[in-house]
Chains A and B, each alone.
Chain A
Amino acid sequence: MPITTEGLRFEYAPGTPFSHVALEDISVTIDDGSFTSLIGHTGSGKSTFIQLIAGLIKPTAGKIYLDGEDINQKGYDKKKLRRKIGVLFQYPEYQLFEETVEKDIAFGPTKAGFTEDEVAVKVRKAMELVGLDYETFREKSPFELSGGEKRKVAIAGVLATDPQILILDEPIAGLDPIGRQDFMEMVRDLNRGGKTVIMISHNMDDLAEYSTRVIALYQGKVYLDGTPNEVFSRYGHLKRAGLDLPETGKVIQKLRDRGIDIDREIITKDALIRELKKLLGGKDD
């Protein structure tokens, strides 16, 4: 169920003195089962882009196709879109509201019209996917959980309707380091299990480690698009767009500045350590 956009454009307050073009001429295809990261400085259009593909706002011009169907054409069943795409917004734990974890997660599938038995199965499965033990957590109040656990409840609520595409907007912001690591590993497992993941994050190291494709937006346009190795090795381009390098990139750039020959396409910590070992080990011959 790929998502394809054609000449997508979005303008805030068009025709007024306050008009502002947030996105312009975006034509991309996001493949099934991919893990696509969206990077860009604040104001680059990332959030506008995900709101468009989630069908929450309509483009000023251009088309969005889900599975070959134009999601903004007359008569398109928006319910189908809601079932296929699950969106986790920033600080989703602020949206928890039910008395128990189980009820909170059940809200989506209940509204989608599943029977009580079906809902129970879906809730249990969603909790399993995010690593929350059903018996331990089902009766707890969402408000007495830790930050990382709350966020897992929120994502379980999204997963309970079994969307094929998961859109995550800054999902690890505000979590502690171990909570971040756990969360990213969970997202990776969901992706490996077949879900398409589209994620916005400022944490370049996580994106370098986990994604299969990186799209950088700059001033409302696609600025870089490629594998993490391709995108994160373009130091000059990233800097110009106000983007941080992953830590690995910072080390490699500084080594290269000192005249040391080391490959720029190394972007993960493990690969860097392997390369440094070669470099240091080879110094004797």
Chain B
Amino acid sequence: MEEIIRSEGLTYRYETETPKRPALDGVDLRVREGEFVAVLGHNGSGKSTLAKHINALLVPSEGKMFTNGLDTSEEDNVIEIRRSAGMVFQNPDNQIVATVVEEDVAFGPENLGVRQEDIIEKVYLALNMVNMGDFGKRSPHMLSGGQKQRVAIAGVLAMDPKIIIFDESTSMLDPVGRKEVMATINYLNKVEKKTIVLITHFMEETVDADRVVVMIKGRIEDEGTPGEIFRKRDLLMRAGLIPPFASDVAYRLKDEGFDIGQALTVDELVEGICRSLQKD
């Protein structure tokens, strides 16, 4: 099976609101197994609502969502769906339930009925993947924001999901914590071959994604590689997004008649400048 996530005409209306338009309006999302897809959008664009459909926290008002081949509106599928698609949220403090790191990570597999002797192995496998293997006996509240968020990721990994959804998982962290979590996400995709759906409003977090999906007002407005999307200034403006530093500098230089090529990162920008200087 190639497409591990597939939505068809997915539309969702929140019951409590009386909006003129639905939160999601006819979304066709397709994610291949092993792909790293970033969903970019401003507040209120529907990106988090879309994320919550992937693991059946929400089910479509109209249209369909299939996760790992299973229809999320079938009640009988929910447990299997949650097992295959784990979710990491914004605030690490709201996701940690136990007083010792290893117990926190064990919470998921215990509830899935994994045998006790296998649990500890799963827990440390997961903690090692997020580089927190030495912290198993620690108390979560003594950890930094980035470390706590990595424990939350380990808690998801301990259930062996194929898909991991990150719903603005870095937005409450300091720069160091943000770097740690982004490095973990890349590792899980490139090495552990997990399918990643990253929900964010920070463009700089999407540079390593295979594909970027841009949402505006509940619809997918455009999609493409980070390079293709970052080039579209009008689109970014309409979506309420601010391009990363390096890409903005390169773009503004081009505007002034100095084309140093596209740059997504500081290294690419420096490379482009040096190349241009050497040309003559």
Interface residue ranges, A against B (CB under 8 Å): 42, 146-148, 173-174, 176-179, 181, 202, 205, 244, 247-248, 250-251, 254-255, 258, 260, 269, 272-273, 276-277, 279-281, 283-284
Q: Are B280 and A283 in contact (CB under 8 A)?
A: yes
Using Cβ atoms and an 8 Å threshold, which residues of chain B touch A273?
Answer: 249, 252-253, 256
Q: What is the CB-to-nearest-CB distance from A81 to chain B, in angstroms, rounded to a whole number?
A: 30
Using Cβ atoms and an 8 Å threshold, which residues of chain B touch A277?
Answer: 253, 256, 258
* B172 contact from A174, A176, A255, A280, Cβ within 8 A: A174
Tell me the count of chain B residues lying within 8 A, CB to CB, of chain A.
Answer: 33
Q: Are A269 and B242 in contact (CB under 8 A)?
A: no
Asked whether A177 and B253 contact (CB < 8 A) given A255-B270, A260-B274, the answer is no
Q: What is the CB-to-nearest-CB distance from B23 to chain A, in angstroms, rounded to a whole number?
A: 14
Q: Are B277 and A260 in contact (CB under 8 A)?
A: yes
User: Lowest 3 A-B CB distances belong to which pairs?
Assistant: A247-B245, A177-B242, A254-B270
Q: Are B277 and A279 in contact (CB under 8 A)?
A: yes
Listed by A's residue number, 11 A-B pairs whose Cβ atoms lie within 8 Å are: A148-B43, A173-B172, A174-B172, A176-B43, A177-B202, A177-B241, A260-B273, A269-B248, A280-B258, A280-B276, A283-B276
Closest to B277 in A: A283
Total of A-B residue pairs, C-beta within 8 Å:
79
Using Cβ atoms and an 8 Å threshold, which residues of chain B touch A202?
Answer: 174-175
- Additional A-B contacts beyond A273-B253, A277-B258, A283-B279 (15; CB < 8 A): A146-B43, A148-B43, A173-B172, A174-B171, A174-B172, A176-B240, A202-B175, A251-B246, A251-B249, A251-B270, A260-B273, A260-B277, A269-B249, A277-B253, A280-B273
Q: Are B266 and A254 in contact (CB under 8 A)?
A: yes
Q: Which of B245-263 contact A (CB under 8 A)?
A: 245-246, 248-249, 252-253, 256, 258, 260
Q: Are A146 and B246 in contact (CB under 8 A)?
A: no
Q: Are A147 and B43 in contact (CB under 8 A)?
A: yes
Complex CA gap A176/B43 in Å reads 8
Using Cβ atoms and an 8 Å threshold, which residues of chain B touch A281?
Answer: 258
Complex CA gap A177/B144 in Å reads 23
Q: Are A251 and B172 in contact (CB under 8 A)?
A: no
Q: Which of B109-131 contact A (CB under 8 A)?
A: none
Q: Are A284 and B280 in contact (CB under 8 A)?
A: yes
Q: Are A146 and B249 in contact (CB under 8 A)?
A: no
Using Cβ atoms and an 8 Å threshold, which residues of chain B touch A258?
Answer: 270, 274
